[in-house]
Amino acid sequence: LSRNPGETEFHQAVREVLESIGPAIDKHPEYAQARIVERICEPERQVIFRVPWEDDSGDIHINRGFRVEFNSALGPFKGGLRFHPSVLLGTVKFLGFEQVFKNALTGLPIGGGKGGSDFDPRGRSDREVMRFCQSFMLELYRHIGEYTDVPAGDMGVGSRELGYLFGQYKRITNRYESGVLTGKDLAYGGAQVRKEATGYGCTYFVDQVLKARGDSFEGKDVVVSGSGNVALYTIEKVHQLGGRVVAASDSSGFVHDPKGIDLELLKDIKENRRERITSYTDAVPHAELVTDRSIWQVPCQVALPSATQNELDADDAAALARNGCLVVGEGANMPTTPDGVRVLREAGVLFAPGKAANAGGVATSALEMQQNASRDSWSFRYSENRLREIMIDVHDRCHATAEEYGRPGDYVAGANIAGYSRVAEAMLALGLV
Ligand code: NDP
């Protein structure tokens, strides 16, 4: 703690992993001897840089940029960029740390990293966002590359931002290096299903959790928080699998639509018009707009937090359990507080942690890297099948590891032990680096 003062979220993420991997360390004394825990908690490299840019009225702004290259034992550093005013070094370190284990769980050859800035793209014009992205890349370009570090999108970084970032990288380096960024638009080297991947993948994972108890999404009421990239495509897949999403949110509140969220309308509001969720109730009079209580008060059988970290606390967890929730699946990174997780587990609610349940996005990014490297482009159907197979594998790996270590049904232990063991084995093999 004293080495990383004030990095609350990073401490929270490290504690969560260390609390579950004891049995793996007991079984493998060579991990302790090689000091894998200490090495894994220390990023290989972290870069912090100044990002100056000019707004439309000529005022100068200074933001802070970050790239934390956490672990490259399994492959190039891989993980998204987040543009949000709340971003601090501790935020990026927590996300990068989680990413190491998530990427390991996919079974694909990718290490873990994360980056971003405290820049807030909301309310900024396209040209302002472009100028910011160009300035950000003017420093970032020297740290990344298809064999070293491959960033992607995250909160506040979608296809518009990735386009500006890639354009600037290409211009500075004079290289059309498609594999240097993932989440690109289909028009210039992007992959089918990347946009949908995290939401679809989370839904597939939870579908496997339901199947493992002889159940399915059919006829279930589902609550999805957020209305960004992850949330929208979670809603789409839940509807395709026969569930009904009855509530969605953004940071201004949530809408409760007992007849089921009209996804085309919500996509239009969020992806095209870039408006607040309040516009939903303007168009759907029977839906209720709620700003004075938590979305987790809405009764449901499946809850999929897909907005941000620490958005579901112990009170929310108690409300979910009381209302008959069977499964909570984390679409976002660490959306449930440690107390929230404890309450859910004590109440017997199955809990799918983000590092397993939301691994579909990075897995599809790795597929995008494969396509870029081979100058190939796969169909939507083929790509979605690959994603589905990967998510079933991630589920089965967590499930089997939990059983192997005497914790059946404990997806937190399963995910942490399986992810940690894969990285630890690779680090041992590479020697003291
Ligand atoms: P977006 O920026 O596309 O969407 C985030 C959504 O969450 C927005 O609707 C935002 O609303 C909402 N939100 C933010 N803070 C709050 C809050 N305090 N209460 C309610 N709603 C809130 O991000 P993504 O969908 O890409 O990412 C969401 C989460 O999923 C993050 O934790 C991210 O790290 C994780 N993730 C994303 C992946 C991806 O492929 N995109 C991959 C794996 C994980 P508003 O617009 O009002 O801020």
Q: What is the pLDDT of residue 420?
A: 98
The SS3 assignment for 101 reads: helix
384 vs 197: CA distance, rounded Å: 8
**Which residue has the CA at smallest separation from atom 32 of ligand 1?**
332
User: Does 358 reside within a domain?
Assistant: no
- Specify the residue for token string 């499930």: 399
- Both 272 and 338 in a single domain? yes
User: Does 181 reside within a domain?
Assistant: yes
Q: Is residue 311 in contact with ligand 1, taking CB distance under 6 Å?
A: yes
- Contact of 314 with 344, CB cutoff 8 Å: no
- Both 149 and 264 in a single domain? no
Q: How far is the CA of 334 from the centre of ligand 1 (A)?
A: 12
User: Does 403 reside within a domain?
Assistant: no
The closest of 103, 120, 121 to 112, measured between CA atoms, is 103
- Contact of 183 with 110, CB cutoff 8 Å: no
- Contact of 320 with 298, CB cutoff 8 Å: no
372 vs 186: CA distance, rounded Å: 12
CB atoms < 10 A from the CB of 149, how many? 22
At position 374, the amino acid (one-letter code) is S
Give Rg (Cα) of the chain. 21
Mutation probe of ligand 1 site: the residue of 12, 155, 182, 289 with most atoms within 8 A of C-beta? 155
User: Does 357 reside within a domain?
Assistant: no
Helix H, strand E, coil C: the string for 46-63 is EEEEEEEEECCCCCEEEE
Residues with Cβ within 8 Å of 341's Cβ and at least 6 positions away in sequence, in order, are 317, 351, 412
- Both 232 and 292 in a single domain? yes
User: Does 366 reside within a domain?
Assistant: no
Geometric angle at alpha carbon 136, from 133 and 142, rounded to 5°: 125
Last residue of a domain, one of 191, 224, 256: 191
Q: How far is the CA of 72 from the centre of ligand 1 (A)?
A: 26
Q: How far is the CA of 307 from the centre of ligand 1 (A)?
A: 4
Q: Is residue 161 in contact with ligand 1, taking CB distance under 6 Å?
A: no
- Contact of 101 with 79, CB cutoff 8 Å: no
Q: Is residue 179 in contact with ligand 1, taking CB distance under 6 Å?
A: no
Closest ligand 1 atom to residue 157 Cα is 2
- Both 299 and 219 in a single domain? yes
Q: Active-site residue among 93, 102, 114, 270?
A: 114
Tell me whether strands 60-71 and 112-117 are parallel, antiparallel or unpaired. Answer: antiparallel
- Both 312 and 174 in a single domain? no
- Specify the residue for token string 């099948």: 385
Residue 245 has φ and ψ, to the nearest 5°, of -85, 120
User: Does 210 reside within a domain?
Assistant: yes
Residue 247 has φ and ψ, to the nearest 5°, of -155, 145
- Both 130 and 214 in a single domain? no
256 vs 296: CA distance, rounded Å: 11
- Contact of 53 with 129, CB cutoff 8 Å: no
User: Does 422 reside within a domain?
Assistant: no
Last residue of a domain, one of 157, 191, 225: 191
Q: How far is the CA of 266 from the centre of ligand 1 (A)?
A: 15
Closest ligand 1 atom to residue 156 Cα is 2
- Both 199 and 178 in a single domain? no
- Contact of 334 with 354, CB cutoff 8 Å: yes
Q: Is residue 192 in contact with ligand 1, taking CB distance under 6 Å?
A: no
At position 239, the amino acid (one-letter code) is H
Q: Is residue 368 in contact with ligand 1, taking CB distance under 6 Å?
A: no
270 vs 227: CA distance, rounded Å: 7
Q: Is residue 156 in contact with ligand 1, taking CB distance under 6 Å?
A: yes
Q: How far is the CA of 49 from the centre of ligand 1 (A)?
A: 24
- Both 167 and 269 in a single domain? no
Q: Is residue 229 in contact with ligand 1, taking CB distance under 6 Å?
A: yes
**Which residue has the CA at smallest separation from atom 41 of ligand 1?**
154
Spans in the chain with pLDDT lower than 70: none
The closest of 325, 393, 327, 317 to 356, measured between CA atoms, is 393
119 vs 286: CA distance, rounded Å: 37
At position 6, the amino acid (one-letter code) is G
- Both 208 and 174 in a single domain? no
Q: What is 91-148 written as a DSSP string? A: HHHHHHHHHHHHHHHTTSS--EEEEEES---TT--HHHHHHHHHHHHHHHGGG-BTTT
Mutation probe of ligand 1 site: the residue of 150, 161, 230 with most atoms within 8 A of C-beta? 230
- Both 134 and 213 in a single domain? no
5 vs 67: CA distance, rounded Å: 19
Extended beta strands in 87-137, E state? 112-117
Q: Is residue 20 in contact with ligand 1, taking CB distance under 6 Å?
A: no
- Both 138 and 217 in a single domain? no
Last residue of a domain, one of 169, 191, 213: 191
Domain containing residue 204: CATH number: 3.40.50.720
User: Does 142 reside within a domain?
Assistant: yes
Show the domain range for 186. 8-191
Return left, alpha or beta for 174; rule: phi > 0 is left, psi -120 to 50 is alpha, else beta. Answer: left
- Contact of 402 with 20, CB cutoff 8 Å: no
114 is catalytic: yes
* Number of structural domains in the chain: 2
Going from the C-alpha of 246 to that of each of 121, 203, 225, 316, the distances in angstroms are 29, 15, 10, 17
- Both 74 and 211 in a single domain? no
Closest ligand 1 atom to residue 227 Cα is 9
Q: Is residue 224 in contact with ligand 1, taking CB distance under 6 Å?
A: no
Domain containing residue 19: CATH number: 3.40.50.10860
The SS3 assignment for 312 reads: strand
The structure tokens listed for 216 are 């399915």
CB atoms < 10 A from the CB of 138, how many? 16
